[in-house]
Amino acid sequence: AQSVTQLDSHVSVSEGTPVLLRCNYSSSYSPSLFWYVQHPNKGLQLLLKYTSAATLVKGINGFEAEFKKSETSFHLTKPSAHMSDAAEYFCVVSDRDSGYSTLTFGKGTMLLVSP
Amino acid sequence: DARVTQTPRDKVTEMGQEVTMRCQPILGHNTVFWYRQTMMQGLELLAYFRNRAPLDDSGMPKDRFSAEMPDATLATLKIQPSEPRDSAVYFCASGPGTGRTDTQYFGPGTRLTVL
């Protein structure tokens, strides 16, 4: 069985400071991991995904995430927050190697960015 | 820029009424997923289809919910009769497959309010 834990329900940063959103996963297989972002009253947009290639994954809008198997983590980072980054972020795991794979979503982390 | 579209974007209805939500997946995608998002439960998978055939609808209350794909360009989710506890945002997503590495692309959602 697969599961995802997002360690913080809310993270507050100031504009221009680094962002760290934490995610730990549990998986029976070699997982794929995703980060999605949801702006208010919008659908979910893919930020980046890890699929067993490079462990450091770069995504859109300056975000990146590092897959660490030993720590079962996939934390999302950005060097400098922008006001437009304020949104809810979901860490997602998918791990079936055969048959049909489905996504398991974390509970989400709300990122608040202050001027 | 290919996108998943959903209609209606907002729906307010009275308890007991039938509700139909529609989704147009991205052309060429052969998998379609229906999710429900609430504050309490987060994102829940309701059902998913591959090549128009239902693969799994175990997340859906069977007595009142039904999901179909009449053709490759249309997926529907019906609730009959609707209840206040069905109030949520319903997302449709489509993808190129159901493998572990396949990305799901989300529509903007239908916000349902049942009075």
Q: What is the pLDDT of residues A2-16, one digit of tens each?
A: 889 999 999 999 999
CB pairs under 8 A between A and B: 56
Residue with tokens 């919910």: B65
pLDDT at A98: 52
Contacts of A100 in chain B (CB under 8 A): 48, 50, 55-56, 98
Phi, psi of A83 (to 5 degrees): -55, -35
pLDDT at A97: 53
- Minimal Cβ distance to A108: which of B42, B91, B102: B42
- Minimal Cβ distance to A101: which of B4, B99, B105: B99
Q: Is the pLDDT at B27 greater than 90, yes or no?
A: yes
Residues B52-62, mean pLDDT to the nearest whole number: 86
Binary contact (B91, A45; C-beta < 8 A): no
Residues A91-113, mean pLDDT to the nearest whole number: 83
Q: Which of A26-40, A68-82, A91-105 has the highest mean pLDDT?
A: A68-82
The CB density around residue A45, as the number of other CB atoms within 10 Å, is 15
pLDDT at A111: 97
Q: Is the pLDDT at A77 greater than 80, yes or no?
A: yes
pLDDT at A100: 65
pLDDT at A84: 95
Do B82 and B65 touch, CB atoms closer than 8 A? no
pLDDT at A51: 85
- Residue in chain B closest to A50 (alpha carbons) equals B101
Which residue would you say has higher pLDDT here, A41 or B83? Answer: B83
Q: Is the pLDDT at B100 greater than 80, yes or no?
A: no
Determine which of A26-30, A82-86, B7-11, B77-81 has the lowest per-residue pLDDT on average.
A26-30
pLDDT at B85: 95
pLDDT at A28: 75
Cα separations in angstroms, A28 against A3, A72, A92? 10, 12, 15
Residues A94-99, mean pLDDT to the nearest whole number: 64
- Chain A nearest CA to B26, separation (Å): 14
Q: Is the pLDDT at B61 greater than 90, yes or no?
A: no
Binary contact (B98, A101; C-beta < 8 A): yes
Rounded to whole angstroms, the Cα distance separating B6 from B57 reads 20
What number of CA atoms fall less than 13 Å from residue B32's CA on the CB side? 30
Q: Which residues of B touch A (CB under 8 A)?
A: 4, 33, 42-43, 45, 48, 50, 55-56, 91, 93, 98-109, 111
